[in-house]
């Protein structure tokens, strides 16, 4: 069996944060039944350009492979009946909605425990289900602003800068996946489910880690650093060579000694200004110009070869195309393929989660409501008469 083949999750999810969490579980074999609202055309991610036609988009493909799609109107009484039948045969209900919506939609543990005492209700919201911001919508860009990330990103003389990726969304999705698996484990052990209250705000704030710790316990104020330098380790930053940028770091004293010898400045090893971590940090204004002049004298490829042979931590600053062509990307099998009726062969990145030796199988993201009959008939046991009754009642959208 696949690692999570015995796990079934009802996903009321949209866009990226929620689906990024559940796609990790889908790749590991979990049955992710994605509920899409028939009145709104399903997940808005289906309509995100570029490479988008009608209800298909590569954006949607990114976050929804290996899942099943059904269309259910959760606000219609008949749709609620279908949803509750799914709750009875599932392990978790997973959503990424505004903080006040899980209660209004009646998808919390208090609402569903009578149907399935072991159900786990995981709500991934912008700001959580409590607090003064509970009712506010949460988007990655806003969260990077409100939790201080943008204030820490970019050059000191430049404007606040967003990360090039939606890292709050993706990190929160992973946190939600961990929370859900933890809840399912406890529910199977104890026979009692629970709520999991996960938020983008909590995730982004927690990822402030040691800069926040330093501030909470002293007078340290986190701030942007020149050339993406580490806030305390010197040198550990980007350096411009004669033709490109590289990253060089000395996170241990042995690396500092290797570095100065490799670049032909062995005298710095005995310079009392730079003898320890603390010394180098205190005298960074004297040290960094020396290193910058040296690195600017040769091309990146030469420095990476010299430093690599000396055992000094270093890397190129790749473009995205260069990163995708890196030999490690191929060696780790990070690019996988699925077949799509509109886009043909679709190449995409696999999940970083690796469990056991068997590689996951990859199935394209579902077309909207593609698995309607499969779920209704095979999983829930509905016959033609029952499906017709529910359809007339508006369970699957406005009755024809």
Contact 162, 150 (CB under 8 A): yes
Residue whose structure tokens are 């990114």: 62
CB crowding 152-179: b at 16 or more within 10 Å, else e = bbbeeeeeeebeeebbbbbbbbbbbbeb
Active site residue 230: yes
Tokens matching residue 1:
């069996």
Element containing residue 305 per DSSP (H, E): helix 300-310
The Cα 90–Cα 112 span in angstroms is: 11
Contact 315, 241 (CB under 8 A): no
Angle at 399 between CA 31 and CA 108, to 5 degrees: 40
Q: Is 11 exposed, middle or buried (0-12, 13-18, 19+ CB in 10 A)?
A: buried
The Cα 178–Cα 118 span in angstroms is: 17
**Residue 366 zone, left/alpha/beta (φ > 0; ψ -120 to 50; rest):** beta
Dump the DSSP string for 187-200: HHHHS--EEEEEEH
Compute the radius of gyration of the chain from its Cα atoms: 26
The Cα 136–Cα 125 span in angstroms is: 9
Identify which of 256, 241, 254 has the alpha carbon closest to the alpha carbon of residue 305.
Answer: 241
Residue in 215, 230, 340, 371 annotated catalytic:
230
Contact 188, 4 (CB under 8 A): no
The Cα 154–Cα 134 span in angstroms is: 30
Contact 58, 354 (CB under 8 A): no
| Catalytic positions | 230
């Amino acid at each position: 069996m696949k690692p999570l083949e015995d796990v079934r999750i009802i996903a009321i999810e949209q866009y990226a944060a929620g689906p990024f969490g559940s796609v990790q579980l889908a790749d590991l074999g979990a049955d992710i039944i994605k509920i899409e609202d028939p009145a709104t055309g399903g997940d808005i991610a289906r309509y995100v350009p570029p490479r988008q036609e009608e209800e298909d988009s590569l954006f949607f493909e990114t976050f929804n492979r290996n899942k099943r799609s059904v269309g259910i109107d959760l606000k219609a009484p008949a749709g609620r009946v279908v949803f509750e039948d799914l709750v009875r045969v599932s392990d978790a209900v997973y959503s990424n909605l505004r903080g006040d919506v899980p209660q209004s939609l009646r998808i919390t543990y208090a609402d569903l425990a009578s149907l399935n005492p072991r159900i786990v209700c995981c709500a991934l919201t912008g700001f959580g289900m409590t607090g003064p911001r509970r009712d506010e919508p949460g988007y990655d860009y806003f969260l990077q602003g409100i939790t201080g990330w943008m204030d820490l990103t970019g050059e000191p003389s430049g404007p606040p800068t967003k990360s090039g990726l939606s890292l709050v969304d993706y990190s929160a999705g992973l946190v939600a996946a961990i929370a859900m698996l933890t809840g399912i484990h406890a529910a199977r052990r104890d026979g009692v489910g629970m709520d999991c209250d996960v938020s983008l705000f909590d995730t982004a704030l927690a990822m402030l880690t040691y800069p926040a710790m330093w501030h909470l316990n002293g007078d340290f104020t986190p701030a942007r650093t020149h050339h993406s330098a580490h806030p305390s380790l010197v040198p550990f930053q980007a350096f411009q060579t004669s033709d490109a940028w590289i990253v060089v770091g000395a996170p241990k004293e042995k690396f500092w000694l290797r570095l100065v010898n490799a670049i032909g400045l062995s005298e710095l090893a005995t310079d009392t200004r730079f003898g320890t971590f603390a010394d180098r940090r205190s005298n960074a204004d004297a040290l960094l110009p020396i290193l910058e002049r040296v690195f600017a004298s040769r091309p990146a490829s030469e420095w990476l070869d010299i430093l690599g042979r000396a055992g000094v931590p270093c890397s190129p600053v790749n473009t995205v195309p260069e990163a995708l062509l890196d030999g490690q990307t191929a060696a780790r099998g990070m690019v996988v393929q699925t077949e799509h009726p509109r886009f043909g062969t679709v190449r995409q990145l696999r999940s970083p989660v690796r469990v056991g030796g068997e590689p996951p199988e990859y199935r394209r993201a579902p077309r909207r409501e593609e698995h309607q009959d499969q779920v209704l008939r095979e999983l829930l046991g509905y016959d033609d008469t029952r499906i017709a009754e529910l359809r007339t009642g508006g369970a699957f959208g406005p009755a024809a």
